[in-house]
Structure 1
Amino acid sequence: MPLLIRPDDLSSDATRALAAAHLAGMHENTPAESVHALDLDGLTADGITVWSAWVDDELAGIGACKDLGDDRAELKSMRVVDAFLGQGIGRAILRHIVEDADERGIRSLWLETGSTDDFLPARRLYASEGFEECPAFPPYAPDPLSTFMTRRL
């Protein structure tokens, strides 16, 4: 399966719909005060880079990275289209973001994800790619519904 991962400005209907579905899904499973996913305005703000993954001409997933300054960045809004789950798309996007961050001189990547069972696949993916749990990092506060992770590059 040929996979193309490219920078994305979220101008296509497909990528906008997937980003919106990601945010809506977070609100379905998590109280609003514990949802940290970015909306479309947040994903198109300065300092955010979004990538989309495509199989042929079909959107397979998205992922984003937010520059935190001081050689740090945060993974944001990782989402795979349901039809592509279990095919390595999320891992490919994650590895692409890590490689890009390393090339840009980022020394550490950070992320926040859910701590409930429905986020277990995400936590396992991140752990298998070298991310380790850590305390909450700015701008987050400790939250029992959040798991915070980091990885040095």
Structure 2
Amino acid sequence: MNIKKDDVTGPEVIALLHDHLQSITLHSPPESIHALDAERLRQTDVTFWSAWDGDGLLGCAALKELDSLHGEIKSMKTSPQHVRKGVAKQLLHHLIEEARQCGYQRISLETGSMAAFHPARSLYEKAGFYYCDPFADYKEDPNSLFMRLDI
């Protein structure tokens, strides 16, 4: 697997992000969707990576800087044909290492509270994330759970 910084302009990446947003809308009401679109993922406070096997896109993930010591995981998505092959785990470990190199002391994330998001929550728990209160501009929401990792 080759994980590389990405400018969020390639058609495969755009299609995967569109799939990500579509799948979230199946399980979350509009007011509880906090995913970033491609344009927002291109902003200077976000670093985006894509994972490839040759010409095949395996997945993507982003790290948004909240402040000099705190980052937020955004847009973790595995290509549907590569689910349960360890792609998300490798992307998550890559994000954690990148956060360390940035000097962050913690990384946080927001994810859905519904059953459809259980695999993601399990991945984060296994990596040492724990549940926490809302952070940054998030508010309490029965459709959202918040997690944090101190690094």
TM-score band, normalised by shorter chain: over 0.9
Deviation at 1:70, TM superposition (A): 3.6
- 1:79 aligned to 2:105? no
> Of 27, 32, 35, which residue of structure 2 is paired with 1:34?
32
Q: TM-score, normalized by length of structure 2?
A: 0.98
TM-score (norm 1): 0.96
Which of 7, 14, 32 does residue 16 from structure 1 map onto?
14
For residue 145 of structure 1, report the CA deviation from its aligned partner.
0.5
Which residue identity does 1:17 align to in structure 2? A
What secondary structure does 1:139 align onto? coil
Work out the CA distance in 1 between the residues paired with 2:20 and 2:78. Answer: 9
Paired with 2:144 and 2:70, the residues of 1 have a C-alpha distance of: 20
- Structure 1 unmatched runs, 5+: none
- Whole-angstrom CA distance in 2 between matches of 1:70 and 1:144: 29
Residue 134 (1) aligns with residue 135 (2) = no
Q: 2:64·2:74 contact (CA, 8 Å) conserved in 1?
A: yes
Identity, in percent, stands at 38
Structure 2 residue corresponding to 1:113, chosen from 100, 111, 114? 111
Q: Which residue of 2 aligns with 1:100?
A: 98
Residue of 86, 104, 113 corresponding to 1:88: 86
1:21 deviates by 1.2
- Match for residue 150 of structure 1 among 143, 148, 151: 148
CA contact (8 A) 2:8 2:14 kept: yes
Give the whole-Å Cα distance in 2 for the aligned partners of 1:109 and 1:138: 11
The Cα shift of 1:49 comes to 0.5
For 1:139 and 1:23, locate their aligned partners in 2 and report how far apart those are by CA, in whole Å.
Answer: 20
Deviation at residue 46 of structure 1 after TM alignment: 1.6
For the aligned residues, what is the CA RMSD? 0.7
Write the letter of the residue equivalent to 1:75. I
Aligned length: 151
Which aligned runs of 4 or more in structure 1 are off by greater than 4 angstroms?
none
Distance 1:42 1:11 in 2: 12
Distance across 1 between alignment mates of 2:7 and 2:82: 22
